[in-house]
A and B are shown apart, each in its own frame.
Chain A
């Protein structure tokens, strides 16, 4: 049976719009809810039910969109319930075909000007902050908002720092930003409340490439500190020096 706690009151099935259903494993982000969502999504994809058009995950949920002419809410709810009962999804293995990426990043300098502010919020010196962020092996908890853009976690508790209420007007592509025990690696330049602590040269989405997306949900990532000069050299590489090894 599923482990039930305050953070995980057990899975909940809700409707999304007219043609979607959502299975949520928590009402707020937790490591176990995210693992459950990833594992359940992989199982859902493996089922290939008739009428299911698309499955995906958000931070704590698995989403199913279906064709109303081939499936209805009641039948889908029964199937989802049966699949939920098959396993303890909070304790399930992460899906296969995961990779560990090592991505070079410059921490601080004018390329990532909010490192001092982020370090202070986390109660660390800048050197401690760089050591902590580059030692952390974080998982792609979900990809969303913009193409190929990962939410990475979970960072040590010291990084449970709020997002800024005053938005940064423009954070560049490849920026590594921190808040609420997560890192976001930005795939497009955008305004944000996350704190810009690192800068990479990766391009997360290349529409014309054979593999358009660098990262998959469930992949793990570690950021390797490099100098601004080294990063400049890596900009010629579309992967920005990122290297993958197979985790399966």
Chain B
């Protein structure tokens, strides 16, 4: 069944996002898509649907939403306080949003980007093959009060699942590979870069995140000018004042600043989610190791559905566990039964 989700109120950075629109680099349009792609996979797992469906991304602050018919939802990414008709609901979980009920989502308690997924996905019109807003390219617009979003046909029925999220909301260490311009930096600068404790700047957004430190800026060898080259998400460009700037989903497609390395795609959610002021470290690893990590992460994300657990049966949250009859329905005894 299809339906609609109405925006009653929205924070300033609320947009529709999916996995973005690959294939338009040639025309100057970066892929874009969710700042935290892992959150899309988590939402898809909780709702038992494809990770390519569009969701609502909320930068720092949520909003208020209402569905015209019963709607399955899931909440992932940066944890935000959420309630349905005044009753608090769990983050990193799926829920039923009954027709006409008000879903209220507050400010992020940690991290930067929260996500609201719906059964069947958000079905706003596609531009260049995707529904993602790409504000830097002039595609789409932030959601605002009164917007009515169509939701797709939903064949699933399950709600009340939870998923333990990857801890990625408080900063940490991201892994980096050398890229085409890493060799422009002297070895001592690269070593200092790895030793430095950075802070995520408050100026970060979907285009990129500057990282600040107390020491001197980072400099390539000599005053070289480099010919403008292709940018891939995760590239760490070093601007004129020596500040590293990690480019994210919605960056420009080419750049003339030298790049010291590239953050692994599987570590970009941690970088994008780090709140302003969070401490960040960078660590170079060999390309071969990075490839293995990426392959393993792709496989892990595909298996997330199997990691979901029923919220009401989570023994950690059950105070009356012993009052349940846990035996009936048990079969041969070889299968896992909760």
State the CA gap A69–B223 with chains docked (Å).
Answer: 39
B127 engages A145 (CB within 8 Å): no
B179 engages A145 (CB within 8 Å): no
B336 adjacent to chain A (CB < 8 Å): no
List CB contacts (< 8 Å) of B191-228 with chain A: 227-228
A224 adjacent to chain B (CB < 8 Å): no
B232 engages A20 (CB within 8 Å): yes
In the complex, what residue of chain A is closest to B265 when comparing beta carbons? Answer: A18
Chain A contact residues: over half helix, strand or loop, or mixed?
A: loop
CB neighbours (8 Å) of B24 from chain A are 147
B227 engages A27 (CB within 8 Å): yes
- Count residues on chain B whose CB falls below 8 Å from chain A CBs: 38
- Count residues on chain A whose CB falls below 8 Å from chain B CBs: 44
Stretch at the interface among B90-98, B288-296, B305-313: B288-296
B127 engages A207 (CB within 8 Å): yes
State the CA gap A212–B127 with chains docked (Å).
Answer: 9
Pick the contact of B298 from A27, A60, A69, A143 — CB < 8 Å?
A69
Stretch at the interface among A49-57, A114-122, A227-235: A49-57
CB neighbours (8 Å) of A4 from chain B are none
Min distance, Cβ B274 to any Cβ of chain A, angstroms = 20
Given contacts A54-B23, A69-B298, A205-B138, contact A145 B28 (CB under 8 A): yes
Interface string of A180-193 (1 = CB under 8 A from B): 00000001100000
Interface string of B92-112 (1 = CB under 8 A from A): 000000000000000000000
CB neighbours (8 Å) of B298 from chain A are 68-69
A148 engages B28 (CB within 8 Å): yes
Interface string of A201-226 (1 = CB under 8 A from B): 00001011000110001000000000
Interface residues of B, Cβ cutoff 8 Å to A: 22-29, 127-128, 136-139, 177, 179-180, 227-230, 232-235, 252-255, 262, 264-265, 287, 290-291, 294-295, 298
* Other A-B pairs beyond A146-B136, A147-B138, 8, CB < 8 Å: A27-B227, A69-B298, A72-B291, A142-B254, A144-B252, A145-B28, A145-B228, A207-B139
